[in-house]
Amino acid sequence: MDCIFCKIVKKEIPAKILFEDELVVAFPDIHPFAPVHILIIPKEHIETIADLQDKHEKLTGRLVMTAKKLADKAGISQNGYKLLFRVKKHGGQEVPHIHLHLIGGAKLSENIRPIK
Ligand code: AMP
Ligand code: ZN
């Protein structure tokens, strides 16, 4: 399968792995839009949050807990940060493999209004 994030999971393309366990992998976003911008992804290829099933509850929790721990490690937990899942076309999702954006290290602007 030609999925860029599956290739990162399989170490077929390089990424600086910040965290890895049996369920998830985390690495810096290649085009960061804040001082801290990390992607946390499931090892399993699941295209979007809309595709999750009840059996993925543990995985979903692991994605958020990994983001929380990496935020602690990056020293941004006191001031705060954003966690973002883009979902499909209206959500602006470009890579069809679930990824949780951890974004912080600066005060972030709001940018979630519908495009006119
Ligand atoms: P989204 O728009 O939510 O689908 O976000 C996809 C994100 O993946 C973007 O922020 C990209 O910069 C990032 N990205 C794409 N390819 C890579 C890669 N090879 N390594 C790290 N981040 C990537
Ligand atoms: Zn994939």
**pTM score of the predicted model:** 0.96
- pLDDT of 116 reads 75
* CATH architecture for segment(s) 4-104: 2-Layer Sandwich (3.30)
Give the position of tokens 């985390």.
Answer: 26
Regions of the chain where pLDDT drops below 50: none
pLDDT, one tens digit per residue, over 95-115 is 999 999 999 999 998 876 777
C-beta neighbour count of 14 within 10 angstroms: 9
User: Rounded to the nearest whole angstrom, what is the distance from the C-alpha of residue 38 to the centroid of ligand 1?
Assistant: 10
| Whole-number Å distance between alpha carbons of 42 and 21 | 10
Mutate to test the pocket of ligand 1, among 8, 16, 31, 46 (most ligand atoms within 8 A of CB): 31
Q: State whether the beta carbon of 30 lies less than 6 angstroms from ligand 1.
A: yes
